[in-house]
Structure 1
Amino acid sequence: MNVWFRDLAMGARFAVTGGREGWVRTVLTAVGVGLGVALLLVTTAVPNAIGARDKREDARTDLRFSVTQMPKADDTVVVAMADTEFRGTSIRGRLMQPEGDKAPLPPGISAYPKPGEMVVSPALARLLGAEDSALLRDRLDARIVGTIGEAGLTGPAELMYIKGVAGLHPTGYPVERIDHFGNAPEPEPLDPILLLLTLIVVIVLLMPVAVFIATAVRFGGERRDRRLAALRLIGADGRMVRRIAAGEAASGALLGLLVGAGVFLVVRQAASKLELMGISVFPQDIDPAPALVAVVAFAVPAAAVAVTLFALRGVVIEPLGVVRTAKPSRRRLWWRLVLPLAGLALLYPMLGQGNENGEFNQYMVTAGVVLILVGVTALIPWLVEAVVTRLGSGPVAWQLAVRRLQLSSGTAARLVNGIAVAVAGAIALQMLFAGIEGDYTKATGEDTERAQMTVNVPASTETSTLTAQLQQALAKTPGVASVTPPLTSAGVGEKPHDANEGASFTSGSCAALREVAKLPSCKDGDVFAVRGASYDDSTDKLAKPGTTLYVDPGYDKVKGAAVPFKVPAGLKDARPRELPTGGDRGGFLVTPSALSEAAGATMSGDLYLKLDPSNPDASDEVRTAAAQFGPLINSHSMVAMERVGRFDSIRTGLFVGATCVLLLIGASLLVSQLEQLRERRKLLSALVAFGTRRRTLSASVLWQTAVPVALGLALATAVGLTLGAVLLKMTAQTVAVDWASVLAMAGVGAGVVLVVTFLSLPPLMRLMRPEGLRTE
């Protein structure tokens, strides 16, 4: 053991006491490893960050979709949902009316705002203070008396307000009486396909990180081997030099852990100022689990040692030099093919499974995908070597680049390993997303040609008057092209309470009623029964002249108005028409003079709006104008298609993670490129001294990067398409390739490499000075 410790310690000393060359090599290794470690630490903190957000979301849960309403008490509060949007960004809003001194406080505030006052999140306070937010200020129209604390927000960028009001009456969702906050219902578990998607996203995002860490610990490999050869000359044996190499690699990795921890702390502290794809977190949320931190702290140095020893397996370090300088033996292909084939074999038994045919084995999926992606890193060195040995003559820059690639194709391959793995995984994921998107995307049925927004007025004694006034105001609102005549509606049954048969009851002018049904003829005073509507079996039973029906009957323990309505003898038949909001409506249609005032007070109002597409703020103008008539008036933007929320959440997580990985790829590639240039400093200076033009050398460096990148991206595309096809077969989807997305993924990878190459040109120019020939 003493011998082992002595050799490892000697390697560690070489890492930090080798003069400027040793320090630069160690710093480059530490930076490369540190960037990967920082991203790993952020990744290990993701579960805790999501858990902290969910916990705060759960603690502030208020509306519970209750059928029955609890009685008023000293410890109750009436809460109404008043969510809105501003320029496409959602704003969470609540109207609150405490009913006693013991009313529970929502998390994040110390006292309820009084009527006409509100408390807001810090992000909303900043937005309201912006010069171009006049529409939002007019809409919320309350005096800000405080801010909501972190306990009441999911993240620092969340837009939220709580407004104090008076006169709220609980009528069921979205206005309810509660006596505590919290206790959100348990979320449904992910279905097998979404679980598979989540697993693949995690693997694809973490694999490039592991590849970059493995690449970083091999910085300065050629100089290290020459130094170890010198140790053999003074008596060290092969095992000793390998232990010394292991100590040097471990020390660089440990320093990288410290760098990574520092970068992580900086990123953690800046988290409150960052927002990616609508997701923001507080710094304290980014708290990695101790067990996962321990795994990273152990795995990174262990991987560094393993990679170093694996790299030395083909290098015989002898006293008179390194056999690496001789013509290397050709790389073997067979064992490199074993990895992806083994991965495919692990995935094969799960073909055709999914939501209806059983769950996927997470361990087999993980192992299979990892083996396939690792196979990319194993195949690239063979592919680069096989191609560059056959490259012929050309311009001077091309010949310099080709010769360098022929002498050190392994180094060039390592440079693109991370990019290739990232692109292969991204292509496979893109195919999987595109293949299953149809299962998680559904048509809303909303006809965005007939209308782009709806405005709903809750039931009250003033609904008819308010809806008519709102129609006139909206017709004059900037950005509104047209507004349909107002419609009011409620339910109707054959009994005043717990009716067995129920139907829709709609009132409006003849022009308004023609929006929801096909009328034979119409004049004020007519009543129609809409027959043949979807999911309506009650209208035919209720539409008998002389029958007394009840508008707004009560159900369970909820007391309705139950206003009697007698079916007239002159009842007319109508046919259903597709609604702008989708579907059709059966039941009864009543013109204004046939409706009693008491029945009208139980009905809610609806308006359909067409917007001017040339006005980008049209929807915000509508919301602000509607808010002037009451805080509970709901404005809804219509969309033709919508996706399942969890599918969108996974996609958002992918984009956030991919952004971080791309930043890591760019930074690590730049470090790798600088390390390669530093290794060739004397050679570059000598070529310049012999008269080689700097432009030629710059072009040769570009070719040295472009050739391996092109080969790596070609291989990554092939592997990505294969993996994507297998994943689609696993989810029982038809295999289809979106070539535009595939080319875009490959283009992004190539773009990152080109940007890094151009960033490395200024250091390259400095390295080509004659001073680079100095030695000691």
Structure 2
Amino acid sequence: MKVRGQWTRDLAMGVRFAFAGGREGWTRALLTAVGVGLGVALLLLTTAIPSALSARNQRGTDRDDFTYSQNVLPKADDTLVIANTDTTFRGKDVRGRLVEPEGAKAPLPPGVGKFPAKGEMVVSPALEKLLDSGSGRMLRDRLPYRVVGTIGHPGLIGPAELAYYAGETGLANHLASGSVERIDYFGPSREHTQDKLDPILILLIMIIFVVLLLPVGVFIAAAVRFGGERRDRRLAALRLVGADGRMARRIAGGEALAGALLGLVLGTVFFLAGRQLAGVLVVRDISVFPSDLNPSPALVALVAVAVPAAAVLVTLFALRGVVIEPLGVVRTAKPPRRRLWWRLLLPLAGLGLLYPMVGQGNRNGNFNEWMVIGGTVLLLVGVTALLPWIVEAAVNRLDAGSVSWQLAVRRLQLSSGTAARMVNGIAVAVAGAIALQMLFAGVEHDYTKETTNDLSRAQMQIYLRGDIPLAEAARQIAATNGVRHASAISQGSLGEKAKEPDNTVEAAAGTCAELREVARLSSCRDGDVFVVQGGNYDAKTKELTTAGRTLYFDPAYTGSTHHTVAWKVPPGIKAAAEREDPTGYARGGLLFTPGALPAGTMAGMVQQVYVSLKPSVPDADDYVRNTAARLDRLADVNTMAASRQSLQFRSIRTGLFVGATCVLLLIGASLLVSQLEQLRERKKLLSSLVAFGTRRRTLSLSVLWQTAIPIALGLLLASVVGLTLGAVLLRMTGETVTVDWASVLSMTGIGAGVVLAVTLLSLPPLLRLMRPDGLRTE
């Protein structure tokens, strides 16, 4: 109890010195608080991300409106017919729905007060703003509805989401299409389950959190050591009035505790400001409502306890080798050479934890999360342990050069630890980023599938209803601004029976020129019918296309609308060879020219249009979407791509981008605060040099060299550790170790760019400090 009371009294005395020690104490406490506050704010934002994503996902699930069921729900007083009319405008997704209530108890979409009538729509605030702006005029042509209201918070996943519900009639006639359903509730489907993350994606998420959060901890640890040299002189004065060495160290811990506690307050303020700012920020189409950013109470309590405790422990650790005597502090002498052996133990221990999981991949269950996190933390913390030794060893070998160079080198030789602390955080961040980029590049091929699309023939694919005249659809789309060529094909099926056939054969219809896009024809004229064998799904083509057999267009199935038309196979059908269409699909079955189609068959077919665009025309794809919407309000327009990436993988990469952006901002802000604190410490020295005639340019260059040398060494170490960690992670996933040098160089360049920007921002205060009046003292 006596020891505990002594600790409490000494810590409390340190807190009083911080707040009642005049301008010097307040300045140091404020600098510490700003550095700690920035880190705390990012910690709180990071701990709030899971709740924000969970809230987004929950609202997205609550408004689910497709059941993925094969059975059509019967019409009732509580049913709603809803159609998916999602679209894209200038690269941004627009969520669209057409709604037709079938009774007074039809379920309302979340966030919607009442159903819009035909020709009306309710929109999200972001979409309303876009439609009212000049840049949204083209989208306004695609959505010819009158805005009568806005979608509330419960119906949107984020404040920047573009979404609308429009009233329509006659939707029940199209229940057979995949984009129209009858529902009696909004919410998750009973027949659809979410895909679970595989072990490699879980590994990616774990590494991302470690890589993003560890630099924050490093910055907080560095921030509580601001003003160390002047603090040591005050501790010497305390020894002079009777305090022993242990008491002096505890008082120093109390000063750091005061800055940390004030940092918690500032961090909370920064967090609340950042949370409000999150409502107007959009990063890669991701936005969140400020109310969603609610950190877990347990994590908030952990931050509130861990940060002050870390401040005290870091201060005591920093003073372990400092001899505080009544007449001075033995830190001004040259410190003893740092030892290397124990610094190597951290990364070696990290490799030891990760090594048992090498080669595990996706086949042997989940990776041990504690071993992954522990091994990664030890490897990256090894950067902070090795960097002071590397900086000391390097600067001790530097010698001759210009005056600015010698000033910088001498300063680094006297305080290499301080210089290393400044760049520790950025080195850890760069090392982690390099490892993550290697891991992403190594596993990307597992989540990216090459498509069979031939982009030299078409870049867009449009599906229209069968009652749209094929020739008119092709003509209007071909005449659209930005379209080089359009080819329209009708497609459907014929069955052996009019109802519930066991066997079917594909059918396609179009002009001779359009049929040549999907088959190889020797000769063709209107009225011809062709048979293609050897397609992807033509096992019964030969059996079903014998002369004299009766087949049925659009045969009826339970629960679907149909337009069944009988057709007898004529003798002498021409043979055609298969040819892949622009999507890479090789069709089989029957091909019809317009003159050979029986009357009424088009209503049971789907029109498919392949569109080739002119690259020189801006917004060509949006012009095509507008034309398709005029032709068919339920048109399905797809942009063809050479490859498609897993949505889960893309989401994780987007999360990394958002988090890395926040960490980079923290790195820049914390480095700037640290740089200003270092300049404040050397105010009298700089003023003395100027008074003796040293040129300001020389001093400015010396400050630049003092930053550049540790940064260069830190980035070199970060590259080595990042490459090592990346190689181990790739071996854990079972992938071949390859180095993405472009990513390595880009990550290193970004780190160097942040430091250069901070150095430039610190030049104005540096010039102010280099005035002779800085020699005045009290």
Q: Distance in 2 between matches of 1:172 and 1:445?
A: 25
User: Which residue of 670, 673, 697 corresponds with 1:671?
Assistant: 673
Alignment partner, residue 74 of structure 1: 77
User: Which residue of 761, 767, 773 corresponds with 2:775?
Assistant: 773
Query: Which SS does the other structure have where 1:598 is aligned?
Result: coil
Report the Cα offset of residue 501 of structure 1. Answer: 2.1
Query: Which SS does the other structure have where 1:133 is aligned?
Result: helix
Report the Cα offset of residue 710 of structure 1. Answer: 0.3
Report the Cα offset of residue 634 of structure 1. Answer: 2.0
Report the Cα offset of residue 538 of structure 1. Answer: 2.4
Query: Which SS does the other structure have where 1:314 is aligned?
Result: coil
The Cα offsets for residues 280-332 of structure 1, whole Å up to 9 and x where unpaired, read as 01111001110111111111111111111111111121222111111111000
TM-score, normalised with respect to structure 2? 0.97
Instruction: Write out aligned runs for 1:93-132 (5 A).
Output: 93-132=96-135
Query: Which SS does the other structure have where 1:733 is aligned?
Result: coil
Alignment partner, residue 661 of structure 1: 663
Work out whether 1:233 is the aligned partner of 2:275: no
> Is the contact between residue 528 and residue 596 of structure 2 (CA under 8 Å) also seen in structure 1?
yes
Alignment partner, residue 495 of structure 1: 497
User: Which residue of 381, 385, 406 corresponds with 1:374?
Assistant: 381
Query: 1:197 corresponds to which letter in structure 2?
Result: L
Query: Quick one: structure 1 residues 186 and 225, their matched pair in 2 at CA, closer, same or farther if it must change by over 3 Å?
Result: farther
Report the Cα offset of residue 678 of structure 1. Answer: 0.4
Instruction: Write out aligned runs for 1:182-197 (5 A).
Output: 182-184=187-189, 185-197=192-204
Q: 518-527 or 208-217, which moves further after superposition?
A: 518-527
Work out whether 1:639 is the aligned partner of 2:646: no
Report the Cα offset of residue 88 of structure 1. Answer: 0.9
Alignment partner, residue 175 of structure 1: 180
Q: Distance in 2 between matches of 1:309 and 1:575?
A: 83
Report the Cα offset of residue 512 of structure 1. Answer: 1.2
Query: 2:402 corresponds to which letter in structure 1?
Result: P
Q: Distance in 1 between matches of 2:584 and 2:33?
A: 59
User: Which residue of 157, 162, 187 corresponds with 1:159?
Assistant: 162
Report the Cα offset of residue 535 of structure 1. Answer: 4.2
Q: 358-367 or 467-476, which moves further after superposition?
A: 467-476
> Is the contact between residue 67 and residue 172 of structure 1 (CA under 8 Å) also seen in structure 2?
no
Alignment partner, residue 609 of structure 2: 607
TM-score, normalised with respect to structure 1? 0.98
Alignment partner, residue 286 of structure 2: 279
Structure 1: 4+ residue segments shifted above 3 A: 554-562
Work out whether 1:714 is the aligned partner of 2:716: yes
Query: 1:88 corresponds to which letter in structure 2?
Result: G
Query: Which SS does the other structure have where 2:97 is aligned?
Result: strand
> Is the contact between residue 315 and residue 323 of structure 1 (CA under 8 Å) also seen in structure 2?
yes
Alignment partner, residue 7 of structure 1: 10
Instruction: Write out aligned runs for 1:186-225 (5 A).
Output: 186-225=193-232
Alignment partner, residue 428 of structure 1: 435
Query: Which SS does the other structure have where 2:82 is aligned?
Result: strand
Q: 228-237 or 615-624, which moves further after superposition?
A: 228-237
> Is the contact between residue 53 and residue 154 of structure 1 (CA under 8 Å) also seen in structure 2?
yes
Report the Cα offset of residue 172 of structure 1. Answer: 4.4
Q: Distance in 2 between matches of 1:498 and 1:487?
A: 25
Query: Which SS does the other structure have where 1:628 is aligned?
Result: helix
Q: Distance in 2 between matches of 1:529 and 1:357?
A: 49
Query: 1:28 corresponds to which letter in structure 2?
Result: L
Q: Distance in 2 between matches of 1:728 and 1:186?
A: 30
Instruction: Write out aligned runs for 1:457-606 (5 A).
Output: 457-459=464-466, 462-463=467-468, 465=469, 467-484=470-487, 486-558=488-560, 560-606=562-608
Alignment partner, residue 410 of structure 1: 417
Query: 1:658 corresponds to which letter in structure 2?
Result: A
Query: Quick one: structure 1 residues 559 and 83, their matched pair in 2 at CA, closer, same or farther if it must change by over 3 Å?
Result: closer
Instruction: Write out aligned runs for 1:686-725 (5 A).
Output: 686-725=688-727
Q: Distance in 1 between matches of 2:553 and 2:358?
A: 55
Q: 87-96 or 186-195, which moves further after superposition?
A: 186-195
> Is the contact between residue 65 and residue 172 of structure 1 (CA under 8 Å) also seen in structure 2?
no
Alignment partner, residue 41 of structure 1: 44
Report the Cα offset of residue 566 of structure 1. Answer: 2.0
Alignment partner, residue 395 of structure 1: 402
Report the Cα offset of residue 376 of structure 1. Answer: 0.3
Work out whether 1:750 is the aligned partner of 2:752: yes
Query: 1:698 corresponds to which letter in structure 2?
Result: S
Q: 545-554 or 18-27, which moves further after superposition?
A: 545-554
Query: Which SS does the other structure have where 1:356 is aligned?
Result: coil
> Is the contact between residue 343 and residue 368 of structure 1 (CA under 8 Å) also seen in structure 2?
yes
Query: Which SS does the other structure have where 1:177 is aligned?
Result: strand
Identity of aligned residues (%): 64
Report the Cα offset of residue 534 of structure 1. Answer: 2.5
Alignment partner, residue 452 of structure 2: 445
Report the Cα offset of residue 567 of structure 1. Answer: 1.9
Q: Distance in 2 between matches of 1:135 and 1:61?
A: 28
Q: Distance in 1 between matches of 2:323 and 2:493?
A: 87
Query: Which SS does the other structure have where 1:699 is aligned?
Result: helix
> Is the contact between residue 69 and residue 172 of structure 1 (CA under 8 Å) also seen in structure 2?
no
Query: 1:260 corresponds to which letter in structure 2?
Result: G
Query: 1:760 corresponds to which letter in structure 2?
Result: S
> Is the contact between residue 529 and residue 574 of structure 1 (CA under 8 Å) also seen in structure 2?
yes
Query: 1:228 corresponds to which letter in structure 2?
Result: L
The Cα offsets for residues 418-457 of structure 1, whole Å up to 9 and x where unpaired, read as 1100110111111111111111111121111001112211
> Is the contact between residue 29 and residue 253 of structure 1 (CA under 8 Å) also seen in structure 2?
yes
The Cα offsets for residues 561-604 of structure 1, whole Å up to 9 and x where unpaired, read as 34322222122222211111222111211222221123222001
Q: Distance in 2 between matches of 1:345 and 1:458?
A: 62
Report the Cα offset of residue 62 of structure 1. Answer: 0.4
**5+ long unaligned stretches in structure 1:** none
Q: Distance in 1 between matches of 2:199 and 2:495?
A: 42
Q: 622-631 or 496-505, which moves further after superposition?
A: 496-505
Query: 2:271 corresponds to which letter in structure 1?
Result: F
Q: 679-688 or 508-517, which moves further after superposition?
A: 508-517
